[in-house]
Amino acid sequence: MSTQNNPNQGYNSTPDLTEEEVQRISDGFKIISMKMKNAATGEVLWQCDDWNLREGEVKDVRFPKKILECSEVSRELVFQSGEEIKYFQLLQRIKFHGQEIESLYFRFGFVIPGSTNSWDQVIYADTEGMMPAEVLSGNLVVETLFMSGDTVVHRSFYRIFYE
Amino acid sequence: MGLLKLLRSLKKNEKEARILVLGLDNAGKTTILKALSEEDISTIMPTQGFNIKALTQDGFKLNVWDIGGQKAIRPYWKNYYENTDGLVYVVDSSDEVRLKECVEELQSLLAEENLKNVPMLVFANKQDLQFALDAEEIMSHLQLMEIKDRTWTIQACSAVTKEGLQEGMEWLVKTISEKK
């Protein structure tokens, strides 16, 4: 079985990048868009084509409540990189009232210089009951770290509202 | 149901497989992926990097990697071979002019150490077009009968009508699960 996306098997040690290299990767990196889709039907539920967050900025996003009713939600992230990145990985932390409740890891590996790339991740619903939108809305913050090996090249935050 | 539980279920220990989709530019790799996930296929641009899609098929969670097929991008394909459980090679069956190029790229893929023994599905795509070669003709051009070191199949398909897509993916997942 493929274990490449097991967070316990992330890159153990990757060559250190110089400050200049990190800066170049960071400058050339840009998230283009984010889309939330009903994975069962392909229907786009929410979309943002202007997702250029500055370092440390917290963006407010307003998802339709019906996103919580989908049994499978597909999230598509499109990003550009000017530079080649050898050990590209993503770590996402979801915080509820400031407390980390979940984290997500994905290893991309190699990123082609001058590339535009998309990543779709499907999130499945459990059959058990869940917190209502009113409780979650405004209290969920998603922190996304894009890394080259252990070095963070892009960090962004978004706060989720349901309406 | 809501986000907390949605997110929790990401950690379920599912059977996973990494699928690599390659082929010349304009073969229809991205369109096939979008068609498989029921997305709109009317505005697809040439891929300038990779597209990763998560699909589920017969209890398998598939991470499908579609890498751009333009000539300038092909030298980077080798960065994506490692840990591949299944290879999908997409052919534009209507592009007779570039069949030779298509064969050459396939030959060099099959010689790759990191793709050794990896099961391969060949999609003879664009069967909806009037002058498309059929799967048998594509098979003979690609000299598939000479492949002895891996399990392979060829499936006629059309990403536009979705004909053949499901059959191909079912074969691939079945073959991967038998191998694992």
The answer to the question of residue B7 being in a domain is: no
Q: List the single best residue of A3, A43, A69, A117 to mutate versus B (max B Cβ within 10 A).
A: A117
The CATH number of the domain where B88 resides is what?
3.40.50.300
Looking at chain B from residue 145 to 174, which residues have their Cβ under 8 Å from any Cβ of chain A?
none
Is any Cβ of chain B less than 8 angstroms from the Cβ of A69? yes
DSSP chain B: --HHHHHHGGGS--EEEEEEEE-STTSSHHHHHHHHTT---SSPPPPSSEEEEEEEETTEEEEEEEE--STTTGGGGGGG-TT-SEEEEEEETT-GGGHHHHHHHHHHHHT-GGGTT--EEEEEE-TTSTTPPPHHHHHHHTTGGG--SS-EEEEE--TTT-TTHHHHHHHHHHHHHHH-
For range A119-138, the mean pLDDT: 80
| B2 falls within a domain | no
Position A29 confidence tier, pLDDT thresholds 50, 70, 90: very high
Is residue B5, in this structure, part of any structural domain at all?
A: no
Beta bridge partners of B128: none
Could you tell me the pTM of the whole model? 0.89
Q: State which residues form the domain around B94.
A: 15-179
In a domain, B8, yes or no: no
Mean pLDDT for back-to-back runs of 10 residues, chain B (180 residues): 45 77 98 92 95 89 96 97 97 97 98 97 98 97 96 98 96 90
Number of compact structural domains in chain B: 1
Distance CA B173, CA B61 (A): 10
Distance from the A106 Cα atom to the nearest Cα atom in chain B, whole angstroms: 11
Q: Given its phi and psi angles, is residue A42 left (phi above 0), alpha (psi -120 to 50 degrees) or beta?
A: left
Give the model's pLDDT for residue A64.
94
Strand partners of residue A146:
A90, A154
Residues of B labelled catalytic: 70
Q: How far is B140 from chain A (nearest CA, A)?
A: 33
Would B1 be classed as within a structural domain?
A: no
Write the residue in B6, B40, B55 that is nearest to A124 by C-beta: B6
Is B53 within a domain? Answer: yes
B97 domain-assigned: yes
Q: What is the pLDDT of residue A112?
A: 98
Q: Over 70: is that where the pLDDT of A13 sits?
A: no
Q: Where are the alpha helices (DSSP H) in B111-158?
A: 135-141
Nearest residue to B83 via CA among B110, B102, B63, B98? B63
Q: Which residues of B are annotated as a binding site for Mg(2+)?
A: 30, 47
B127: tokens are: 């069967």
Q: Do B4 and A123 touch (CB under 8 A)?
A: no
Three-state DSSP state, A31: strand
Please tell me the distance in Å from B147's CA to the nearest CA on chain A. 25
Residue A42 has pLDDT above 90, yes or no: no
Specify the amino acid at residue A82.
Answer: G
* Cβ–Cβ gap A109/B38 under 8 Å: no
| B111: in domain | yes
Q: Which two tokens stand for residue A58?
A: 């917290």
Alpha helices (H) in A11-91, listed in sequence order: 19-27
